[in-house]
A and B are shown apart, each in its own frame.
Chain A
Amino acid sequence: MKKFLIKSLFFFLLIVVTISTILMAFGGYVDYFYEKFTTPKAQSLILGDSRSMQGIQPAVINDYLSSSDYSLPMMNYSFTIAQIAYGPLYSESVRKKLDPTTKNGLFILTVNPWILSSREGDNEKNGVFFEKDMPPHNMELVSMNPNIEYLIKNFNYFHFKSIIRRTSKMHKDGWLEESNLPKDMITLNEWKDKQVIMYNGYASEWEKSEFRLQSFESLIKYLKDFGTVVLIRMPIDEKIIDIENNYWFNFDLEINGIANKTNTHYINFTTVNNDYKTYDGNHLDKFGGVTFTKNICDSIIIKHKSNNKAK
């Protein structure tokens, strides 16, 4: 028995070493979220779903706003619509990730109707949320490297075969770089159609959530104590905008209302000239993302200046 246990332990260690080596060398490829939980607590955050996870690049912001007085570097703490909606659980995770000593942080909160909706199975008033058992909500430790808790709780999210294809890379700053882009217009349109079908499905099954709106407002108020909060609606394809506007016709009005109430800025990029390139109608590609992130920075600078003038 002793020999068996020793050999089993040795094999177990061999496995741990193999997995750790893969994670250290290719961690960004094997999981979309793992790296987000291995970095230190952050002073500035980008929040939202996969639109912001892929479309807003912290490195660009760090570079563009390097001379500003914001507490950088920026961390992209966005996930995907499958795990994320604003609510008490996401707010709690943001609290864990936020450095409590932050004084002048920058918080970019991206919004869209889906991220403020309730879904089948939600019973928000009784504390039942679809996202409960998914990352980041099931994580106690959000700044540990290597993050064993993530490995245990979310092993199903790992896709080790990606170390061969290496098409999606999660950077340490939380930005997901997608390199698998459509090679022609036919593919692009096919991917767009898939997104349209998906969002039509959401529109027929999900509902606007007052509870999540209130929770979102509370999160803004909380973050304002640590710095500047900016609300962003990201540019997407017109077909998807139409679905969103039909689903929640006065969405912008309501978000504007929250922005006014909390004394924050709401910048809606769906109504400006949409020159940003998406690779599927829903996500900005990594090149369009650079321009877009710079434009966000410009908008923030302008708002900042106008605020200072007003003072």
Chain B
Amino acid sequence: MLFNSFEFLLFLPVVFLLYWFVFNKKLNLQNLLLLVSSYIFYGWWDYRFLSLIIFSSIIDFYCGLSIEKAHTKSTKKKWLLLSMFINLGFLGIFKYFNFFSQSLQEAFQSFGYQIDTLTLNIILPVGISFYTFQTMSYTIDVYRNKLKPTKDIIAFFAFVSFFPQLVAGPIERATNLLPQFYKKRQFNYANAVDGCRQILWGLFKKIVVADNCALIVNQVFDNYTEYNASSLLIGSVFFAFQIYGDFSGYSDIAIGTSRLFGFNLMQNFAFPYFSRDIAEFWRRWHISLSTWFRDYVYIPLGGSRGGLWMKVRNTFIIFLVSGFWHGANWTFVIWGALNAIYFLPLLLLDKNRVNTNTVAENNIVINFKEFIQVGTTFVLTLLAWVFFRAPNVSTAINYIYNMFSKTIFNFPTIDLKPLIFIFILVVFEWYNRTKEHGLEINNIKLTIFRWFIYLFVFCLILIFGAQSQSFIYFQF
């Protein structure tokens, strides 16, 4: 079920009312309702793949308990490895098998050998990368004694499949989300109202910004040889906002929806395009994934504690793995590598933690230095996004090559209307850049003005909402 669908518009109030008015007497019943609702939500797309989530939940529930029961470190490790083997095995088969198979074939071909490799005719289960990482965080944290394994099977299953963030995150840590299933949730008016605002803002980012940009982006990337350089540049800007609107929009809807049910999810995007360097960008973009890799990959590898070589190696590993997580294509790997290259100078000069505050803090207008920094960072991300969006590496290289031609000074030949929506997005988010989301306007005291803004955003969605498109991150 899509957040931007009519089904969800009916589904959400029904679950909300059942949750607070029918199943509110017992915590277990509330959790059971969330579990059933989550399975309906996921099964709406393809009920067959529910079996994967259920199987993964059973394995991790059992592995968690077994890790605790085990008396020796090596036995604990065996249970952890079993959990990781199964979770990563699913991910490997469904997401990466064909990629490795075809890459192997191409590698042999380049040496003049013709080999037949097996490819599987399988579809990628929606959200597999998200719930796999979420459930793996549980067994790893249990293994590290950061979390007691749960004996409450309903709470655990509901944690794995919690519908607001099941298919596209934020990838919650078991240490944050699971304990929320043990405690009786209280309805909090202020939290629920702000949750609704966040949902509205998420819908605006998805339906108005991302989907309108998508129409132009598809046109430009599919026929990039026919456009002048300025059009290609604007096309890449549109993609930057498409992916931001799409993904952060989903996160906003997920977080807002969770707040309606008394849950608090982590912030996943903190206005990343206002970053002054790449390190800051990565502290603000897809935070749940970045911190996941930091905690479960980077730090176990030694982080930045070792020597220079160790720092460089670990940085590259984490960015390459992050790229590969996004999809089985060399374009994603290069996207990761480019970001590692951007990041490296900051790391080596020990300047990766310079910009830890908010841009133009305590000011309305940005100063010239910060403006240049933000602009430069944005341009660097643009180049990397071209690899992220292009169907293959050669297209990405040609696209960038064509972007740096004399026609950069010609007027763009593409529809520029999405710039209006991007402008509205940037104004709102700039105004609220120190807050959790772009429509956190509870400080506006005049009720009628707040309601006017809600209605304005709603009308933008209604009138300018583009043809419904699926969320990009569903494929990851």
Which A residues are within 8 Å of any B CB, using their own CB? Answer: 1, 3-4, 7-8, 11, 14-15, 18-19, 22, 152, 155-156, 160-161, 163-164
B6 lies within 8 A of chain A by Cβ: yes
When chains A and B are docked, how far (Å) is the Cα of A19 from the Cα of B461? Answer: 12
B20 CB-CB contact with A under 8 Å: yes
Q: Measured between alpha carbons, how far is A164 from B454 in the docked complex, in Å?
A: 21
B15 CB-CB contact with A under 8 Å:
no
Please, could you name 13 A-B residue pairs with CB atoms under 8 Å apart, sorted by A?
A1-B187, A3-B189, A18-B455, A18-B459, A19-B462, A22-B462, A155-B6, A156-B6, A156-B467, A160-B462, A160-B464, A161-B463, A161-B464
Q: Which residue of A lies closest to B467 (CB)?
A: A156
Kindly state the separation between the CA atoms of A204 and B193 in the bound complex, as whole angstroms.
54
- What's the minimum C-beta distance from B110 to chain A, rounded to whole angstroms? 37
Q: Quick check: B189 and A156 within 8 Å, CB to CB?
A: no
The interface residues of chain A lying within 8 Å CB-to-CB of B463 are 160-161, 163-164
Q: Which residues of B contact A14 (CB under 8 A)?
A: 451, 455
Question: B439-476 toward A: CB 8 Å interface, digit per residue (1/0)?
Answer: 00000000000010011001100111101100000000
Report if B160 contacts A (CB, 8 A): no
**Is there a chain A Cβ closer than 8 Å to B266's Cβ?**
no
B196 at the interface (CB under 8 A from A): yes
A18 touches B462 (CB 8 A): yes
A152 to B192, CA, bound (A): 26
Interface of B is mostly: helix
CB-nearest residue of chain A to B9: A155
Kindly list chain A residues whose C-beta atoms are within 8 Å of the C-beta of B459.
Answer: 18
Give the chain A neighbours of B196 by CB distance below 8 A: 8
A18 B20 Cβ-Cβ under 8 A: no
What is the CA–CA distance of A161 and B467 in the complex, to the nearest angstrom? Answer: 11
Q: Which of A3, A4, A14, A22 gathers most chain B CB within 10 Å?
A: A4
User: In the bound complex, what is the Cα–Cα distance between A11 and B200 (angstroms)?
Assistant: 12
B-chain residues with CB within 8 Å of residue A160 when the two chains form the complex: 462-465
Most buried by B among A22, A161, A163: A161
In the assembled complex, the Cα of A27 lies from the Cα of B464 at a distance in Å of 16
CA distance A19 to B468 in the complex (A): 18
Whether B454 contacts A11 by the Cβ 8 Å rule is yes
B187 neighbours in A (Cβ, 8 Å): 1, 4
In the complex formed, the residue of B with least CB distance to A7 is B193
Question: B454 near A4 (CB under 8 angstroms)?
Answer: no
> Which residue of chain A has the shortest Cβ distance to B17 in the bound complex?
A5
Q: Which residue of A lies closest to B6 (CB)?
A: A155
**What's the Cα separation between A14 and B455 when bound, in Å?**
8
How far does the alpha carbon of A222 sit from the alpha carbon of B463 in the complex, in Å?
42
- In the complex, which residues of chain A have a beta carbon less than 8 angstroms from the beta carbon of B458? 15, 18
Q: Annotate B180-204 by CB proximity to A: 1 below 8 A, 0 otherwise.
A: 0000000101001100100000000
Q: A4-B192, A160-B464, A160-B465 are in contact. List 12 more A-B contacts (CB 8 A).
A: A1-B187, A1-B189, A4-B193, A8-B196, A11-B451, A14-B455, A18-B455, A18-B458, A18-B462, A156-B6, A156-B467, A163-B463
A residues less than 8 Å from B464 (CB atoms): 160-161
8 Å CB contacts to A: which residues of B288-317? Answer: none
User: For residue A159, which residue of chain B has the nearest CB?
Assistant: B467
Question: CA–CA, A14 to B454, complex, Å?
Answer: 11
Q: Is the CB of A1 within 8 A of B6?
A: no
Q: Which residues of B contact A155 (CB under 8 A)?
A: 6
Partner of A156, one of B451, B454, B455, B468: B468
* Cα A11 to Cα B454 with chains together (Å): 9
The CA-CA distance from A163 to B189 in the complex, in Å, is 37
Cα distance, A18 to B455, chains bound together (Å): 9
Most buried by A among B20, B187, B455, B462: B462
Q: Mark B37-57, 1 if CB is under 8 A from A, else 0.
A: 000000000000000000000
Taking the closest CB of chain A, its distance from the CB of B84, in whole angstroms, is: 42
